[in-house]
A and B are shown apart, each in its own frame.
Chain A
Amino acid sequence: MPEQQPWDETTGSGAISGAGAGGAMDLAMDEGVTLEKTPGGPEGTGPAGKPRSLWSDAWRDLRRNPVFIISALVILFLVIISIWPSLIADQDPLNCDLAKAQEGSQPGHPFGFDGQGCDVYTRTVYGARTSVAVGVLSTLGVSLLGGVLGGLAGFFGGAWDAVLSRITDVFFGIPVVLGGLVFLSVVTSSTVWPVIGFIVLLGWPQIARIARGSVITAKQNDYVQAARALGASNSRMMLRHITPNAIAPVIVVATIALGTYISLEATLSFLGVGLKPPAVSWGIDISAASQYIRNAPHMLLWPAGALAVTVLAFIMLGDAVRDALDPKLR
């Protein structure tokens, strides 16, 4: 088993570029994780006497972990209401009555009204769609781009690796919120795409670093050397042998990063450059509510609470997955 830990080198220069995206890596790293294949000890033997894989082992752990169950249920709920918000909210989030502005809770409007007289409950429910969409799509983009580029750099090494490492350093030097302000201040579209594009642009080096380290470790394993000796092609080695063994750290970091991307979207929307009205987003609502914070704190508390619970659910899910995939902590 190689001694090199896949994420070791990131400790030296792992920059945390402001709030949001950068933070995820440190959360994932702070336990000093090494993700290695579980040796098939007496515990790792299934009923059929066949050694269980890291994945089935992790899944067995996860099913018993209350933190995982709770956060998975919260996320499931969020996903369902972001696909069908009308299941629990029968009003239109853009149907507002100025006469009711800032009013408190009433029958049929449990969370009261915001500064424009919109129903806070409906807007909070519809806000989930934006956050989940930004979180999931950004994470997919970041993982694909970062995973492929980082993985190739780790596999081939050499000049491409050196260039990629320097590019990663460059991106780590830019504070995320600052970059967002500069980059997104020109955009006038009120869709989620510019924000997702920005997160992918600044987020991929983080995943690339982890994928690179992880592939370098996996590449040195005996079975990969054996496959090479047997004349396997590069693509076969990458797809059949390296990817399944190097993907675990990427999954862990991506899950935690998902939560921080949601938080980043809200922060950018709060600053006025993320999503723009008429888009419905918790960040926009919190920003609007901050002007009425004295008279109508309910306008702030509901979307802020929903945002915090959502981010917490994804971070705890990532934490639980990390614990399950890391045999050292058992």
Chain B
Amino acid sequence: MGRYVIRRLLQMIPVFFGTTLLIFLMVNVMGDPIAGLCGDRQCDPATAAQLRTEFGLDKPVWQQYLTYMGNVFTGDFGTAFNGQKVTELMGTAFPITIRLTIVAIVFEIVIGISLGVVTGLRRGRPVDTGVLILTLVVISVPTFVTGLLLQLLLGVEWGVIKPSVSSEAPVDELIVPGLVLASVSLAYVTRLTRTSIAENARADYVRTAVAKGLPRRRVVVRHLLRNSLIPVVTFIGTDVGALMGGAIVTERIFNIHGVGYQLYQGILRQNSQTVVGFVTVLVLVFLAANLIVDLLYAVLDPRIRYA
């Protein structure tokens, strides 16, 4: 187990540097950050040159990348061009997005798995067909359309929720945005659980459990569900990173000041420090989630042993 974790951690290193380098290069392609700083006016050449030296932008890209990464490992994510520390921005943005992501994951787990179990046990019946068609529709309607429609109906027409979330973003205001963020993944979780349950329902151990007279509820929850959840856990785990990165659209629609909002502002203002910093943290979250998922396998399925 210990050796497996070490091997996985070593494998993560090239992926981490590759991804951050790629984003670093993309942000550099994005344009001259100094030009963005001067707004629509032409920059004064002397000021621009001084700023370039100050931010180290006159050095070659690879040198900038190495300096940046060196700073990141000491906890210094640099300063946004408005003088605010990037870590400060993260301190306000990440708790909000984490709350939003947790709401979304809870929706995925509760609704997605329940629907998946119900349909998986009734494969081919009307309930099953209905839910399957519904999941296809949910997958087909892009998140921004779902978000706009729910905002229009629940927020504007019926007044059930506030159309935009306040800057503190308490959990109760994040319920509808969380559902919107979760919608597509929710449909995948339902389909995945359904397939997995339907496949395992024919397994020997289920037949044994039924034959020895266990109540149906216990068979489904303890025997069938536990074994069927492995692919679902994989999906939800890798989805954590994707949800946090994909929250840009949801956060924009409901005016939530989380990671997506900061990134969007950073990109609009060509604020490369903010963009690279936030993306680096997102990549780390994504890699950590993948690792935890792989380790969770052993807990869920005792047959899997790590050499």
- Chain B residues with Cβ below 8 Å from A315 are 136, 139-140
The answer to whether A23 and B139 touch across the interface, beta carbons within 8 angstroms, is: yes
Question: Which of A23, A177, A267, A271 has the most chain B CB within a 10 Å cutoff?
Answer: A177
- In the complex, whether A293 has a CB less than 8 A from a CB of chain B is yes
- Chain B residues with Cβ below 8 Å from A18 are 242, 245-246
The answer to whether A30 and B192 touch across the interface, beta carbons within 8 angstroms, is: yes
Min C-beta distance of A309 to chain B, whole Å: 8
- In the complex, whether B199 has a CB less than 8 A from a CB of chain A is yes
* B245 (CB) vs chain A CBs: closest residue: A175
Q: Mark B268-307, 1 if CB is under 8 A from A, else 0.
A: 1000000100010011001100100010000000000000
- Chain A residues with Cβ below 8 Å from B290 are 13, 15
The answer to whether B27 and A31 touch across the interface, beta carbons within 8 angstroms, is: no
- Chain B residues with Cβ below 8 Å from A230 are none
- In the complex, whether B94 has a CB less than 8 A from a CB of chain A is no
The answer to whether B139 and A27 touch across the interface, beta carbons within 8 angstroms, is: yes
The answer to whether B19 and A174 touch across the interface, beta carbons within 8 angstroms, is: yes
Given A174-B22, A270-B249: A16 in contact with B140 (beta carbons within 8 A):
no
- In the complex, whether B144 has a CB less than 8 A from a CB of chain A is yes
Identify which of A15, A169, A174, A297 contacts B152 (C-beta below 8 A): A297
Q: Mark A283-296, 1 if CB is under 8 A from B, else 0.
A: 00010001001100
The answer to whether A26 and B188 touch across the interface, beta carbons within 8 angstroms, is: yes
Q: Report the Cα distance A306→B95, complex, angstroms.
A: 37
Q: Report the Cα distance A182→B137, complex, angstroms.
A: 29
Range for the number of chain A residues in contact with chain B: 35 or more
Min C-beta distance of A228 to chain B, whole Å: 32
The answer to whether A169 and B15 touch across the interface, beta carbons within 8 angstroms, is: yes
The answer to whether A181 and B242 touch across the interface, beta carbons within 8 angstroms, is: no
The answer to whether A173 and B19 touch across the interface, beta carbons within 8 angstroms, is: yes
Identify which of A179, A271, A319 contacts B252 (C-beta below 8 A): A271
Min C-beta distance of A255 to chain B, whole Å: 14
- Chain A residues with Cβ below 8 Å from B26 are 179, 182-183
Given A12-B234, A30-B191, A304-B145: A23 in contact with B184 (beta carbons within 8 A):
yes
The answer to whether B249 and A267 touch across the interface, beta carbons within 8 angstroms, is: yes
Q: Is the contact region of chain A dominated by helix, strand, or loop, or is it mixed?
A: helix
* A17 (CB) vs chain B CBs: closest residue: B242
- In the complex, whether A229 has a CB less than 8 A from a CB of chain B is no
* B139 (CB) vs chain A CBs: closest residue: A315
Min C-beta distance of A258 to chain B, whole Å: 12
Given A19-B143, A166-B15, A177-B249: A182 in contact with B27 (beta carbons within 8 A):
yes
Min C-beta distance of A188 to chain B, whole Å: 11
Q: Report the Cα distance A182→B26, complex, angstroms.
A: 7
- Chain B residues with Cβ below 8 Å from A290 are 148, 253
- Chain B residues with Cβ below 8 Å from A226 are none
The answer to whether B148 and A293 touch across the interface, beta carbons within 8 angstroms, is: yes
Identify which of B140, B151, B275, B286 contacts A308 (C-beta below 8 A): B140
Question: Which of B156, B235, B287 has the most chain A CB within a 10 Å cutoff?
Answer: B235
- In the complex, whether B97 has a CB less than 8 A from a CB of chain A is no
Q: Report the Cα distance A167→B22, complex, angstroms.
A: 11
The answer to whether A286 and B27 touch across the interface, beta carbons within 8 angstroms, is: no
* B259 (CB) vs chain A CBs: closest residue: A178
- Chain A residues with Cβ below 8 Å from B248 are 177-178, 181, 271
Given A19-B142, A270-B144, A316-B136: A166 in contact with B18 (beta carbons within 8 A):
yes
Q: Report the Cα distance A319→B282, complex, angstroms.
A: 32
The answer to whether A14 and B238 touch across the interface, beta carbons within 8 angstroms, is: yes
Given A12-B294, A17-B245: A173 in contact with B184 (beta carbons within 8 A):
no
The answer to whether A178 and B139 touch across the interface, beta carbons within 8 angstroms, is: no
Q: Report the Cα distance A185→B31, complex, angstroms.
A: 9
Min C-beta distance of B258 to chain A, whole Å: 13
- In the complex, whether B195 has a CB less than 8 A from a CB of chain A is yes
State the 10 A-B residue pairs at the shortest beta-carbon distance, nearest first: A175-B245, A170-B18, A18-B246, A312-B140, A173-B19, A311-B140, A308-B141, A169-B15, A30-B191, A263-B142
Could you write out 9 A-B pairs with CB less than 8 Å apart? A23-B184, A26-B188, A31-B195, A173-B283, A179-B26, A186-B29, A186-B31, A294-B152, A311-B140
Given contacts A12-B294, A15-B286, A32-B199, 6 further A-B contacts (CB under 8 A): A19-B184, A171-B22, A181-B264, A182-B267, A270-B142, A304-B149
